[in-house]
Every structure is written in C-alpha cells, then in structure tokens.
Structure 1
Amino acid sequence: MQWKTSRYTHVYTEGDRRIAFNSVSLDAYQITARDAELLDRYRDPAPVQDAPVGELKQLMEGQLIVPVDADTPGRAVARLNALRTAQYRKGGGRYRSIRLALTERCNMACSYCFQQQMYPDLQPRMSEEVLEQTLDWFTGQAAGTSVSVQYFGGEPLLEWDRLQQGDAYLRQARAEGRISGSQQIMTTNGTLMTQSRAEWLASHGFELAFSFDGPPDINDRLRTYKNGRGTYENAARGLRRWGEAGGTSSILMTASSTNLHQLPGIVRWFVEESDLNPEVIGLNSPQPTSEGWETGGAELAAVVFDIWNYLDAKGVSFHGPGTFIPGVIGSGVPNPDNCVTGEVDDPDGEAWPIYVSADGRRSMCLVHHQDKRVEIATGTDAQRAGLQWHKSQDGAADCDSCPASQLCGGPCTVERILWGGRLNEDRCGFMREMTRLVLTHS
C-alpha cells in the first residue's frame, strides 16, 4: 500500500522545536527531527516498508501520514460546511450582543476615524423613542438569556441621557425576568469623563475602554479636538477618574500603516512609564476595505503576537485579532462563524452580534455597517436574516489546504461582498501567521 504525508499536515520549526499540525482534526504534536524527516520523505507516495513501521506508528495514528486513497482534497472545507449546515438546519439563533451607536457626533476630529469619514455631514443622534424601540426588540428576541449592550459612537458620553435610559431599561428588564442578566460596555475617548459620571458608571456596573494612540506626543498628533489641540491630558484625566471610582483601567488602540511597528513600544510605554496603570489593553481589528487591510496580514500578526506575549508576562489582559485561536485548537471543534477577533463566544453558533445606527438601522456587520448590503431591511425577519448571514455561506475551495481552515471560519460575509467572492490575502496571511505563532510558542 502506498502512503503519503497528508495534505492537511503542516510542519513548523522554531529553533530546535518542531510541531506537526493536523489542520482537519486540530491536533498538534511535538515531533523529532527524525519525524520531520519522515514527513518530508512521504510528501511523495511510497510503500510503508521504505521506513521502519515503528517510526511511522505515531505519525500514522495522528493521521499525519495516511494511505494515498484516503488523502482526498476537500475534507477540511467539507467538515466546516457540514457543521455550518447542521446549525443552519437547526435554525434558532438570537442576537445576544448589540452595539448601539447613540450618536455619530464627536467632540474630537481624529484624522483616521472611520465613523467621521462615513458621516461627514449627517451626524444623527439616537432619540429616546428609537432607543426604547430597539431595546424592546432586542430583549424580546433574546428573552430569558443574558445580553451584552455596547454603547458606541461618535462619542457616547455626549448622550448622557441615553446612557442612563439604556441602563434603566436593562435594570427593569432584569427585574421583570425578561432577561437573565446584562453586561454594559462603552468605548469612549475619555475627555468628557467627570468624577460624578465615573462614579455613576462604576456603581452601575459598566465596563469601559478608553481610546488612546500612545504617549502625549503621538496621541496629540493623531487624536485632536476640532481646533487641532491635543487631547492626551484630558483623556488621561478621564481614565484616572474612572480608576479612582473603582473602574478597570482599559486602553483601546487602533493599528494603522503608520503606527503598526511602533505599537509594541507604545504598549510598553503605557505599562512601564505612564501613570495610567492599564489592567487591560485591546487592539481594534482592521477595518475591511475594497483594497484589503491597511496594516497587511502577516505583519499585523507578528505585532499582535509580540504585544500578547509581553502583556501576558506583565499580567495585563490583552484582547485583539486572532487571540481566540488557542481556544479553538484546544477545543478541537472547528470555528464555523467568527470574525477575526472572535467577537461571538458561542460554541453552539446560536448567538449573534448586531449593530444599530443612531437612526435605528440594523446591520449584520459591527464594523462595515454603513454599506446597504449589510443592513437588515425594514420588515425583514431578523432571525432569518441572521441565519442567512452567519450560516448559509459555504467555505471557499481555496481554504481547504490552509492550516487555519478550521480556525477562522472561512471568508467573512462582508469580505465576500467587498471582494466579489475573492479571498482577502491580508486576512488569510494574518490567520496563517497567527496559527504558526500560536502553535510554535504554546
């Protein structure tokens, strides 16, 4: 019988360490130099007697070396599609995470802000009625579950009354048993944070992330008021007030082509030199465009992994693109439906996120929400729309031989729209490199 190294066997070498990864089963093995030699030899089919059976036993048991007739293409994509199809046929699914754009207004004028670029003239504010109607729908369809509400903008602190309204609504919904619990999150630039606001938000259980780009000289060049004045000191004062009120010091950063390779040093500055004492640092996922990712793919992976390892050693929590990969590998269960950040933490694939704009429009994508093609049209069954968006897309044939085929969930729906069905090489490069880094350093 002819045997060969499986098309789904990927070998990585890092120093003296060698890892063989089965990208279908998600099993990883630390192998010897001799194992690596055998795997290389059997890239071309050969009878098993060409090498002693004992040396091949473990490689065969891990399906790293398989009979030639068993090494058929399409198994990786088929496994992913089968899981997605089963979830689609099962139906169900609810929106358990909502991003509410309370306003598209902001008191700042950051040059790279995609929100301001999308709404240069019209900057709507969410009315009391729209917020009430949105939360009625959201909690109604998520009845009996615990939900997550993220207040977004623009700058959400400009809509203090709406924040308090949302909190009061959720408290009443919990008290009446309509939902079992709720998490409230807000991303803010921090410049409008007063001590009384900080104390109110902390006492009501809010989780806050404060947007920064770096030390004062970098931050004040990129994050300015509309008159051009820098914002670092006011933002830092807002974060300090939040910490004094008992809140967790959490910093959120954005990667771009101009700051990508500076980010590890900037993170080190925040941890070791600033007085902000961050307990959590996050990195936004890249904004999808018709050209790809501004940061590139493999380059971003290297930076993310550097930051991740540094913060882990310092005891600072980190969340960013691709950090969900170890969890998927550890579970052995493919990820059929996820964005690059692993936004939806739901092993049954039945909890979805949704974005609601300040004027009440509902969009499937949390980031690329301004595109009419991602909106849930008025009068459309939102559950059916969610199933179509998350479950009806088959994996791309080109994904089959990729080591990350079972990790990234395949091309996301919005990227298929933007690229006309083609794969985004930046996203693919990011996932391949993050997979390699995770496997060789875990």
Structure 2
Amino acid sequence: MAATRLLWGKYFQYDRDGEAVLLDPVTLNSCYLDRGEVTDLSAVPPTATHDALSELGFTPDGPATDRREALRRQLRDLALDPTPNRVSGLRIVLTDRCNMACTYCFVDTNTGKPDMTEDELAEGLRYLFEENADRDEVSIQWFGGEPTIRFDLMRYGDELADRLAAQHKVKRVRRTVVTNGARLTDEALNHLVRHEYGVGISIDGPPDINSANRLLLGGRPADDRIRRNVRRLVEAEELHVGCNLTPTAANIGRLAETVAWIIDTLGLKFIYVNTPIPTGGRWRVNGQDLAHELYEARLVALSKGGLLFSVLDRAFQALDTRRPMLFDHMQGDGTLNAAYLPGKRVSLCDINFTEPNFLFTLDELRYHPEVLGTVTKRVAPVPACGDCPALAICGGPSRNEQLLIGGDTPDPEMCAFYTETVDIALWDNTGVQ
C-alpha cells in the first residue's frame, strides 16, 4: 500500500516510487504527479506545479471543509437521492428447500417452512407490473433455497409475467435465476432458452475448493453433475450464463486461479464476485488482501476474454465518472430490487429476509410508498468517514450492514477493503470493464 498523507488538509496524496497521485475525496478529482512535480510541490509556493494544480482546482486556500457535509451537498447538487423511487424488480424466494448445504449461505434453508403458493406469486407479480406500468423493463429473479426445486412455479410465473407485461404495457421482462447447477431437466432447459434467461451458477472454484463449503445434503460433492449441467447451459446459445463467486476461507489466496479455472474449464466468461457481508456480525476475510486478490482476478479475467465484476469496480466507475458510487442498495435508475417472500411479504433488502425493519406487506408498499425510505443509506454515519479517501465510494456501512453489526461503526475489514480499492484504482487507470 502506498504511503498516504493529507495535502493542505484537503487532498489525499498517494506516494509511490517518487511519484504521486492527488485525490479530492468529495469531488473525486485526481491528478498524477511525476518525480519532478512531486519535488516541485514540496518547494516554497508558488511554483509551476502549484500553478498547474490550482488550474485543476487543487488549491491550498479556502476554509477547512467538513468533508461529510461537503459530500452531502455534492449529492444534492447531483440530484443523487438515496431513497428509492419505486420497486422495479423482485428477487422471488420460491422455497427455502435446497439440495445442498452450503456452510456460508445467508439464507436459512430446509427449515420446513411452506413454499410460495401460486396465489402469493400472482399477487407479487401483479404488484410489480402495476408499479411499472408503461416502463421499459421489470426484472424477475428466481431464488431459494434452490429455485429449480419449484420449477413449476417458475413456469407459472413466467407465463403470468408475459400476460401482465402486455396488460400493463411493460416492454421487456428481464428474467434471471440463481442456482447451484446441480439439477437441470430437459424441460427446464428448454424453458430457460425460450425466455432468454440469465443464469447465475453459484460456484466457488475447482472441486477441491467448491467441496469445502458446497456439498449435497448427503455430504457428497456435486461437482461432476454441476460441470455437466454448465456445459449444457453454455451450449444453449440463447442463454446468458455466468458464475456467482463467493470469497471464502477456501478460495482466498486462490481467487485468480479460481477465475482462470472457471473461464478455461467451465467456459463461463462472466463472473460476479459477491461482496462479503457480515452475517456473523463481522467480515470474515482480510479486506486489504481481498481487494488485491480481486484486482489480480480481474486482470486474469480480462486476459482470457472474460469479465469479472465486483465491488472493486465501484472505485473504478466512481473515479472514471467523477460521480459518487454510494448507493449499492439501489439500481442505477434510483429504483429498488426487493425480495418477495412466501406469505406475501416483501423485504426491501434483497439479501436480508428476516430483519423486521425491512419487512412489509404488499398493501403497505402500495398505499405507503414512503416506507421505501426504510432501506435508505445514511451517508458517512460516523465522523471517521470524513477522514477516509473512500468517502464518496463507500460512504460507510449500508442499512443492512448497520443492523448486522449492531451500530453505525463500520467493520474494520470493510474499511480496509474500500481504502485499498481506492489506492488500486488510482494507480491503475484502465477504467471500467
């Protein structure tokens, strides 16, 4: 990690091998200084470097700034509202039944709770299409447990969604399913192809890695079966097939190798790396190491013609666009992807199905849309956020993370991860994928 210090009490200066990068953590403006300019900057002003920096907006004058308040003003000026304006997509949790017992899953599986009914599914879909009448798109993601266990509900829901889209003049229904890939019937495959699905397969790596946390209920690995099904999905050209990769103790230290295996062996060119969430009240990985591993894995994916997306890309996107990337609880258009649960309940956080603060009935959402603000992120909730170079990229813990850790104070590993991602993105200006 490069040495970091404050220049004029306002800008973060990253020094490396005699060169430097300056970063304004609020506006996300940055500039590069070569060795001569770094030397010139340390001389008595005004020098040519001081004058050049002033033209770019980096000046020593002006009052001391409360960076947290400055960021909030910046968000207002950019009309970036952290409160969702509507629900545009549903992660539909059909069942908590699963044919695998993954040790780190954030869903309580095989509890014996009832599956979703057709009536419940129909009401949830009606709500979604009513809220998005005359819009370009809605999104439906089938989820579990293992959603393919209730393929009958997926098929019923897709047929109903087509009718509702026509009725409410919604131009496109974007369908995805998150599956462990261990079961795939010919009927299900044909259905996925017909509706041009996006299929996300949860795989942690080669068999020795995957079997560390992902086993069938009987205790056996399912890797051979999963590879066969992945091959069938990839060969169906109408599908968009990718991998959901979760960092765990088994693959940390081997993420680049894992990504190479996924691309070379499975033929999956799109890899999405899940963000560690503190389901146990804290991050379970070293944040700084994870940032570097994701960067190395990103380069491996690019070298093999693949794409790897992770939270690391938030730093690249923010610095490329000079636009804060704080609101990971929302879609880019200010809408929300929520979780729809059995019992006609909606969780406004699509990765937390149990927190009472997030749970609402469909009628509550229909008649009291202001409850969408429940999931709104409070930007930079602690004073220390103002001294962080990742201020406009992380902005402190989300509402979900605050509830999981039991307060506003971020997990130290989360802070380490985001500060390291800023360092990486500043020195590598290859931009977004």
If the length of structure 2 is used for normalisation, what is the TM-score?
Answer: 0.88
> Is 1:168 the equivalent of 2:152?
no
> Is 1:345 the equivalent of 2:329?
no
Distance across 2 between alignment mates of 1:96 and 1:29: 38
Distance across 1 between alignment mates of 2:18 and 2:244: 36
- What amino acid is aligned across from residue 165 of structure 1 in structure 2? Y
* Corresponding residue number in structure 2 for 1:332: 322
Q: What does 1:174-189 correspond to in 2, within 5 Å?
A: 174-189=165-180
Q: Percent identity?
A: 24
Structure 1 gaps, min length 5: 43-49
Distance across 2 between alignment mates of 1:388 and 1:281: 31
**Secondary structure of the structure 2 residue equivalent to 1:370:** coil
Q: What does 1:188-227 correspond to in 2, within 5 Å?
A: 188-227=179-218
Q: What does 1:95-244 correspond to in 2, within 5 Å?
A: 95-115=87-107, 118-119=108-109, 121-145=111-135, 146-244=137-235
**Distance of aligned partners of 1:370 and 1:175 in 2 relative to their CA distance in 1, 3 Å threshold:** same
Distance across 2 between alignment mates of 1:228 and 1:84: 53
Distance across 2 between alignment mates of 1:392 and 1:434: 21
- What amino acid is aligned across from residue 298 of structure 2 in structure 1? W
Compute the displacement of 1:178 (Å). 3.5
- What amino acid is aligned across from residue 261 of structure 1 in structure 2? G
**Secondary structure of the structure 2 residue equivalent to 1:187:** strand
**Secondary structure of the structure 1 residue equivalent to 2:331:** coil
* Corresponding residue number in structure 2 for 1:51: 45
1:66 alignment partner, one of 48, 60, 65: 60
* Corresponding residue number in structure 1 for 2:294: 304
Compute the displacement of 1:257 (Å). 2.6
Residues 14 and 21 in structure 2, CA contact (< 8 A), matched pair in contact too = yes
**Distance of aligned partners of 1:16 and 1:312 in 2 relative to their CA distance in 1, 3 Å threshold:** farther
Distance across 2 between alignment mates of 1:326 and 1:295: 22
**Distance of aligned partners of 1:421 and 1:178 in 2 relative to their CA distance in 1, 3 Å threshold:** same
* Corresponding residue number in structure 1 for 2:3: none
**Secondary structure of the structure 1 residue equivalent to 2:12:** strand
* Corresponding residue number in structure 1 for 2:236: 245
Compute the displacement of 1:354 (Å). 0.9
For structure 1, which segment, 216-225 or 155-164, has the greater mean C-alpha deviation from structure 2 after superposition?
216-225
Distance across 1 between alignment mates of 2:31 and 2:319: 12
CA deviation vs aligned residue, 1:352-393 (integer Å, no higher than 9, x gap): 121122333211222233222222367534521113422666
* Corresponding residue number in structure 2 for 1:262: 254
Distance across 1 between alignment mates of 2:301 and 2:149: 32
**Secondary structure of the structure 1 residue equivalent to 2:278:** coil
* Corresponding residue number in structure 1 for 2:427: 440
* Corresponding residue number in structure 2 for 1:372: 356
CA deviation vs aligned residue, 1:317-375 (integer Å, no higher than 9, x gap): 11222323222222222234225xxx6223xxx21121122333211222233222222
CA deviation vs aligned residue, 1:255-282 (integer Å, no higher than 9, x gap): 113321122212222233x2x2112112
**Distance of aligned partners of 1:58 and 1:76 in 2 relative to their CA distance in 1, 3 Å threshold:** farther
* Corresponding residue number in structure 2 for 1:294: 284
**Distance of aligned partners of 1:391 and 1:320 in 2 relative to their CA distance in 1, 3 Å threshold:** closer
Distance across 2 between alignment mates of 1:60 and 1:85: 23
Residues 318 and 325 in structure 2, CA contact (< 8 A), matched pair in contact too = yes
**Distance of aligned partners of 1:38 and 1:387 in 2 relative to their CA distance in 1, 3 Å threshold:** farther
**Distance of aligned partners of 1:6 and 1:337 in 2 relative to their CA distance in 1, 3 Å threshold:** farther
> Is 1:429 the equivalent of 2:416?
yes
Distance across 2 between alignment mates of 1:135 and 1:322: 33
* Corresponding residue number in structure 2 for 1:322: 312
